[in-house]
Amino acid sequence: MEWPHLALLALALVQLVDAVLSLRPVDFVRDCLTDVGLPRRWWPLLPVVKTASAAGLLAGIRWQPLAVLTSAALVLYFLLAIGAHVRARDFGRNLFLNASGMLVLCVAVLVITLAA
């Protein structure tokens, strides 16, 4: 398996784990969503979006334009997440480790995919 495919697979696995954790949000996920003020009625959408992104990344292994589109969408998603943390003045672990770390990972996957 080539580097771009491994990167897509790794990010897809991260998204799937995150989707599972969001089904019935574990404490740290629930705290994060509450801290940024995401309305509870939107919470059920998160596992759907995260699972769809994982599916897009996995399908992108076979069709690169979908990998690029999905990776770019995830970059936008995490930029918006960082914006939500900043707006809520949530400058702790959720911002610097979770959202920013995921943004770096998504940008790296996007760059690797574009370079392939």
Question: What digits encode the pLDDT tens for the residues 48-82?
Answer: 999 999 999 999 999 999 999 999 999 999 999 99
For the cut 70, the answer to whether the pLDDT of residue 1 exceeds it is no
pLDDT confidence of residue 98: 86
How many structural domains is the chain composed of? 1
Q: What angle do CA 58, 60, 65 make, to 5 degrees?
A: 160
Comparing CA positions, the residue from 41, 18, 33 lying closest to residue 106 is 18
Q: How far apart are CA 93 and CA 78, in angstroms?
A: 15
Question: How does the average pLDDT of the chain come out, rounded?
Answer: 93
3-class DSSP state for residue 92?
A: coil
54, 19 contact by CB (below 8 A): yes
**pLDDT value at residue 26:** 87
The residues, ordered by sequence, that sit 6+ positions from 45 with a Cβ below 8 Å of its Cβ are none
Domain that holds residue 17: 3-115
pLDDT value at residue 4:
86
